[in-house]
Amino acid sequence: MYFSLVPNIEYDEKPISYPFSESDFVVAKNFFRRYKISEDVLSYAVYFKEHSIRDGERPDTIAKQAYGNPFFDWVILLTNNLVNSQYDWPLSNAELSRVLESEYENAYGTINHYETYKIGPYDAGVHVDETFYNTTHKLNINGSIEIKNGNELSRAVTVAEHLAAENEKKRTIYILKPAYFQQFVDDFRKKNLYKKDANYISQRLKKTG
């Protein structure tokens, strides 16, 4: 359904043989024409409801549940600015385990980075280096100076823990509420119609300059 709404573009394909006196024209989808959702729209929480993606859920299954039609999966992707569902969509736990086992020598034992706990002046999740982790530090906690080891202020995060955490971040998406769904589709269709200019052929087709 998404591709049926994307307009076409006509471009000339030069023949291989010489001389180049004629051109054959090819019609293709204009994938360079990108639809960008207004940041103002995305800022209105009333338009969306939060959803946590479960194992096995896909854009089409969520679209079926939300809008009654799996072919509106592109609405799920566009409203969450997901460009490539293969990489932007969370892996299932089984898929993540396969990636960790096939792509890394020892994902569960290899350190990816070090990050701080929330202690005194330190915020949680700040990346630090190995030197910080292995040395001592003076902290002013409520007016009292304390000596803390780096491993009390921060922790080592393995490759497996890091990838699992990044994967979990992808699970939270926002679904456009059904009351605003049709308006969004109509607006998308309208924005994908060409306006008259020197390259205009029809609302659904233009040629290259």
With both helix axes pointing from N to C terminus, report the angle between 178-191 and 59-67 in degrees, rounded to the nearest 10: 120
d(CA 89, CA 83): 10
The residue count of the chain comes to: 209
3-state secondary structure 5-42: HCCEEEEEECCCCCCCCCCEEEEEECCCCCCCCCHHHH
Consecutive sets of 10 residues in the chain, 209 residues long: mean pLDDT of each?
51 55 56 55 73 95 96 90 86 95 96 95 94 95 91 97 97 93 84 68 62
- Is this prediction's pTM over 0.75? no
Domains in the chain: boundaries: 1-33+192-209, 35-88+170-186, 98-164
The DSSP bridge partners found for residue 68 are none
148 touches 160 (CB < 8 A) = no
Cα separation, 55 vs 94, in Å, equals: 9
User: For the segment 141-156, what is each residue's pLDDT rounded down to a tens digit?
Assistant: 888 999 999 999 999 9
